[in-house]
Amino acid sequence: MKIWVGVIGLLFACLAQAHERSESTSHWTLINGDLHGVVTARTREVTRLTVPGDNYASLAQIFAAHVGRSVEASIDGVACTPRQRPAILESEPGFVRVDVRMHCGAGGSLSLKVDLFFAVAPSHHHFLYVATGSASREAILSVSAPSTEVDLRPSSGDKTHFLQFVEMGIEHIATGIDHLAFLLALLIAARTARQVLAIVTGFTVGHSITLSLAVLGVIQANRGAVECLIGLTIALAAAQNLIRGEREGRIAGIAAAVITASLLLIPADLRADMPAGLILAIALATGSAVWVASMGGAHAVGRTKSPPFSTPARFTMAAGFGLIHGLGFASALQDLHLPRGMLLSSLLGFNVGVELGQLAVVIAAVALIAIAGRLVHMTQRRAEMSAAMASAVLLAAGLAWFLTRAY
């Protein structure tokens, strides 16, 4: 039992430290020696840079100054020279964008260093895409690797391009604590290999659909609402483990998918902002569906023990909520503004990477649970108690994500 308490405590600590995914993006083009970049970050990331006594008038100005200090470029070791100070661009609510322009000499290798936020947020990740006349490069920069190199010499590079996006997909799921928390919330109560397979398959089907549709431009989602709702999916999946009824999983998955889709698919010009009150309404509607279903299941069985959460119900919940997570995955590719000719191969590679990362996490989680079960004599009561404790932690974390992202 002590081991399980330790594991749950470690989980809580990880979730607390990973309260928000810290990330930014940039898209660069190099044409005839002119390097042009657009750097994007969430406004909440920029608040990390504020200190008492700042004389800047806005967060956008603070971010522009930070970009000017943090971005460096060179070709064959010769530094590129700025053509102007970083300029503030228009952006959607909740984001800031800065325009960067430099002039570079001729050469065979472009080096880009983007040292954004690493000093104030060591877990920060920067998603970068560079396109030149003869090559392209995608990379995820971190505090340990804040720069990347692009070979400017002509090459086919199709295989390398695909593998770069596979790597990006793996890193994205590995650093996406909220996505992993959702998977864990579903896996905690799984009792058989068939149930684990249903959960993994359902999540894959759900997020693959919306990831593809969003990246290809078929649908456009409100990013703030998506991030907020991801927290809600974690809370509801964890709550399901505590309620342990039969029908609420199916109803929660279907209700969340229908309600969320109906709101997210509203044309962008009709919903420039999605207020916190509207997101709260989604939470209340979906939560009510779960509660009503659980009460119905309890009434049907009287005083007997609630029936187990069936395999089809697990699949439905994973697939329904996976639709929301797919929209979250899509933002990483959308921010790169890839040419249409690269979309299909990039999407395929990224999705393959997400699936490989997800599979590795599932195998590790199942192995950890099996090892803990061997080290500690696990009676059914202890197993249920441990699952309930872990679910309670995930429920609290999901609600925290939901409420803090709804502002």
Residue 3, pLDDT score: 42
Q: For 61-100, how does the pLDDT look when each residue is reduced to its tens digit (9 = 90+)?
A: 899 999 999 999 999 989 999 998 999 998 877 789 999 9
Q: Which of 27-41, 77-91, 304-318 has the lowest mean pLDDT?
A: 304-318
Q: For 102-153, how does the pLDDT look when each residue is reduced to its tens digit (9 = 90+)?
A: 999 888 889 999 999 998 888 888 888 888 876 677 788 888 889 988 887 7
| % of the chain exceeding 90 in pLDDT | 12
* Across 390-405, average pLDDT: 77
Helix axis angle for 311-334 and 340-375, nearest 10°, is: 130
* Across 24-43, average pLDDT: 90
Strand ranges (DSSP E) for 142-190? Answer: 147-151
Residue 137, pLDDT score: 77
Topology of the domain comprising 24-156: Immunoglobulin-like (2.60.40)
Count the neighbouring beta carbons within 10 Å of the beta carbon of residue 390. 21
Q: For 221-256, how does the pLDDT look when each residue is reduced to its tens digit (9 = 90+)?
A: 777 778 878 888 888 888 777 765 545 455 555 555
CB 86 within 8 Å of CB 60: no
Give the chain's mean pLDDT. Answer: 75
Domain residue limits, the chain: 2-17+176-405, 24-156
Residue 166, pLDDT score: 87
In angstroms, the CA 319 to CA 333 distance is 21
Q: Does pLDDT of 264 surpass 50? A: yes
Residue 80, pLDDT score: 94
DSSP 348-371: HHHHHHHHHHHHHHHHHHHHHHHH
- Token readout for 392 is 């309670």
Task: Indicate whether this model's pTM tops 0.75.
Answer: no
**What is the band of 377 on the pLDDT scale with cuts at 50, 70, 90?**
low
Place of tokens 């779960």: 290
Residue 140, pLDDT score: 80
In angstroms, the CA 353 to CA 183 distance is 16
Closest by alpha carbon to 115, among 56, 66, 60?
66
Residue 393, pLDDT score: 79
Among 246-260, 279-293, 311-325, top mean pLDDT goes to: 311-325
CA dihedral 316, 320, 325, 327 (to 10 degrees): 150
